[in-house]
Amino acid sequence: MLIEKPNTLTKQAVGCILTHKKKYLLLHRTKDKLWGSLAGNIHANETPQHAIVREGKEELGITLKPNILATTYHKYGAEIVAYHLFEQELASEDLLKIRLNQESSEYRFLSIEQAQKLVLYEDEEYCLLLHEKSHLANYASTKSSRL
């Protein structure tokens, strides 16, 4: 559940919205059969940037160079989590390098509408829509600055 910024946290995590040609890379997790973006926990003495690069190597076998999109806050049971959300457009050559580890059984590139039809992790749809909204706003400001 999405919450306002809390005074205390019990955990910090990272995620990355990976796209290619305006489609989202979603992973089908082996453990719980849910779909979601690349994500994981931040280890002790690790920055969010280092954590998401590590997760990209571990879960997909690729080296990421993502940009921060937002930090959101969530409550899952007793856990209060800061979720550092990154984004990156994957190049065609990155797609050839993807190698899933045991955490995921498959991956797909999907439109937002296709993704919304899957059984997603809690708050995954919110993160995808946040990305969509961010890029629509960037497109609008770029287009108006050209006029």
pLDDT digits (tens, 9 = 90+) for 73-117: 999 999 999 999 999 999 999 999 999 999 999 999 999 999 999
Residue 132 in this model has a pLDDT that exceeds 80: yes
Spell out the alpha helix ranges (H) of 47-97.
48-55, 92-97
Three-state DSSP class for residue 92: helix
State residue 136's pLDDT score: 78
Specify whether the CB–CB gap between 39 and 13 falls below 8 A.
yes
List the beta bridge partners of residue 45: none
Specify whether the CB–CB gap between 55 and 16 falls below 8 A.
yes
Domain locations in the chain as residue ranges: 2-146
Distance CA 38, CA 66 (A): 12
Range 30-59 average pLDDT: 97
- Structural domain 2-146, CATH architecture: Alpha-Beta Complex (3.90)
DSSP character at residue 130: H
Count the residues in the chain.
147
What's the predicted TM-score (pTM) here?
0.92
